[in-house]
A and B are shown apart, each in its own frame.
Chain A
Amino acid sequence: MTPANRSYAIQIALLAVIILVCVFPFYWMVTTSLKTQVVALQSPPVWTFQPTLDNYRVALFEDGVLRTLINSLVIAVCTTALALVLGVPAAFALARFDFRGKKDLWFWFITNRMVSPIVLALPFFLIARNFGMLDKHITLILIYLTFNLPIVIWIVTDQFRGIPYELDEAARMEGATQFTIMRKICLPLAMPGVAVSAIFSFIFSWNELMFGLVLTRSDARTAPAMAVSFMEGYNLPYGKIMATSTLIVIPVLIFALIASKQLVRGLTMGAVK
């Protein structure tokens, strides 16, 4: 074996291990979801068995997972849209205008991304209670802004800053307002960054558990909160839990794979400057 071939062999082996470790848990999740209760609890676990879709039928139609998936979708889409509507102009201002306290403002926006949701969950619950806002979609849509707005502002500010200022100047000569400049000149060029931040907002919102657990009960309950609610200490419906998990995870995985190029770019935007 030539050294080059050997290097390829080692590389392939390493890559195979990486892929396997990344993918195996999903394989196990999906196969467990196709097992009956008795098969799922066999020791040692079995790898071949007669698959059944029963867990999915029960989860979707009897336990109401379908409705929580719809709730999660509605909430994630709305909060992402709202974060963009509010965040993009703010990002533009941070990138383009000079004003006092700009640095502190940016820092404050970003700090929100660092705050543990439990810090907000307690008081937000009490406030929502006073306004009769518990178990409503809008409550989650708003609270999710606390992590989505910082993401949008962080990434899109970077993106706006990368656009040459001369383009603005030219437009201003022709009498365009700042708003027109943002919308007509800069936004189209910043679209990749906007898309990336939208993808992140969506994924984070879809995956969120704690606020969903504390602020909803039935009407607005989200899918992750639902998955957790099967964990009664009385039995081990692992098949059903894995079926629900699959239903939650597969859409977001497909979405992430389709958007993987942007996703990786997004990681590096905030990170590599």
Chain B
Amino acid sequence: MRDKTSGRTIFAFIGPSVIALALIGIAPLLYAAWTSLHFFNLTRLRQLRFVGLENYQTVLTDTAFWQAMGRTFFLLGTSLPLQLALGLGIALVLHQPGLTVVKTLCRLSLVLPMATTYAVVGLLGQVMFNQNFGVVNQLLGGADINWIGDPTNAFVMIIFWDVWQWTPFVALVLLAGLTMVPNEVEEAARLETKSWWVILRHVQLPFLVPGLVAVLILRTADTLKLFDMVFTLTRGGPGASTEFISLMIQRVGFRAFDQGLASAQAIILLAITIVLAQIYIRVFYKEV
């Protein structure tokens, strides 16, 4: 049993980071909570006034807000399964024995998409998916697909880039899980059956679960945060077809300058994030 450390010592270790994060992370939230109760428009600060829960009422009854929220989860629901399927496939291929050099090369190239600046991914998307001078249409055999200007295609394009950037992450996490399987267990199983599915399901899966959980948590959080890539690629358009929740809040707060309403939206988003994080972490991560 560990002995009790004095409160002062504990504080000396943990205090600075708690204070720092409280000042930087919580103070703004309190301020946002205050702002959300006011009519607070940056271009009309003279009309600043307390309005109670009016902003919240506006948000909760605003179909556009919930559509953006739904769109965000729809993106998660479509791109995450793709990332999991492709990522698992890549991990299984890389896990095969042999071909060391090519596989090292492959692992290295998987690192690249993850490290790429998200804003640059969007800019790159604009160049590559342009209807007239984009290379994607050329590679599709001179297709004349209007990617950026069509609501469905634009959404597909966002999914493509999300999958491109984050499948490697899933693949590498799952590959790490596969390497945790003790060799003798895997070899014994291979003698029993030739079916890769049986091996995956009964031998490898248990070792993959922690990684899958982490992927689920991080991808959910990152989809709710998704901003940079879409901002530079479609800015939420055409129409509202790619306006995800973070883009919408940015638009209300910094383009329509309605900080009160945007704060209310942000607080609601925060509440949803915390609830999800609670569920995920409490359910899947046990003890600290």
Contact = CB atoms under 8 A, between A and B. Distances in A.
A and B touch in the complex (CB under 8 A): yes
Interface of A: 7-8, 11-12, 14-16, 18-19, 21-23, 25-26, 28-29, 32, 40-45, 86-87, 89-90, 92-94, 96-99, 102-103, 105-107, 109-124, 126-127, 142-143, 145-146, 149, 153, 157, 165, 178-179, 182, 203, 206-207, 209-210, 214, 224, 227-228, 231, 238, 241-242, 245, 248-249, 252-253, 255-257, 260, 263-264, 267-268, 270-273
Given A123-B263, A146-B24, 9 more contacts: A44-B137, A45-B134, A114-B221, A118-B227, A123-B32, A242-B124, A249-B116, A271-B214, A273-B210
Given A89-B17, A116-B224, A252-B115, A8 B98 contact: yes
Contact of B127 (A32, A107, A142, A267): A32
B164 interface: yes
Interface residues of B, number: 101
Task: Indicate the member of A18, A86, A118, A242 with the most B CB atoms within 10 Å.
Answer: A118
A154 to B, nearest CB: 10
Contact of B99 (A11, A94, A264): A11
A272 B123 contact: no
Interface in B3-21: 4-5, 7, 9-10, 12-14, 16-18, 20-21
B135 A45 contact: yes
Interface string B122-145: 011011100011110110001000
A68 B217 CA distance: 33
Mostly helix, strand, loop or mixed at chain B's interface?
helix
Given A117-B225, A210-B250, A257-B111, A238 B127 contact: yes
Contact of B20 (A145, A157, A209): A145
Contacts of B55: none
A227 B127 CA distance: 14
A182 to B, nearest CB: 8
A120 B124 contact: no
- Main secondary structure on chain A at its contact with chain B? helix
Contact of A227 (B120, B142, B249): B120
A260 B211 contact: no
Nearest to A182: B13
Counting chain A CB atoms within 10 Å of each CB, which of B111, B138, B176, B263 scores highest? B111
B7 to A, nearest CB: 7
Given A87-B17, A120-B29, A28 B127 contact: yes
Contacts of B215: 271
Given A45-B138, A228-B232, A271-B210, A252 B117 contact: yes
A105 to B, nearest CB: 7
A264 B14 contact: no
Given A126-B35, A210-B227, A252-B115, A142 B24 contact: yes
A256 B169 CA distance: 13
B107 interface: yes
A93 B5 CA distance: 10
Given A90-B13, A116-B225, A214-B254, A106 B288 contact: yes
Contact of B133 (A42, A145, A260): A42
A204 B274 CA distance: 21
B169 to A, nearest CB: 7
A231 B123 CA distance: 9
Nearest to B4: A98
A123 B227 contact: no
Given A19-B109, A267-B169, A178 B13 contact: yes
Contact of A21 (B133, B164, B263): B164
Contacts of A127: 27-28, 31
Contact of A146 (B25, B210, B211, B287): B25
A145 to B, nearest CB: 6
B37 interface: no
A214 B13 CA distance: 33
B14 A122 contact: no
Nearest to A122: B253
A-B complex: 7 closest residue pairs judged by Cβ atoms:
A271-B214, A268-B176, A256-B115, A93-B13, A123-B28, A114-B221, A90-B17
A41 B133 contact: yes
Contacts of A110: 277, 281
Contacts of B114: 256
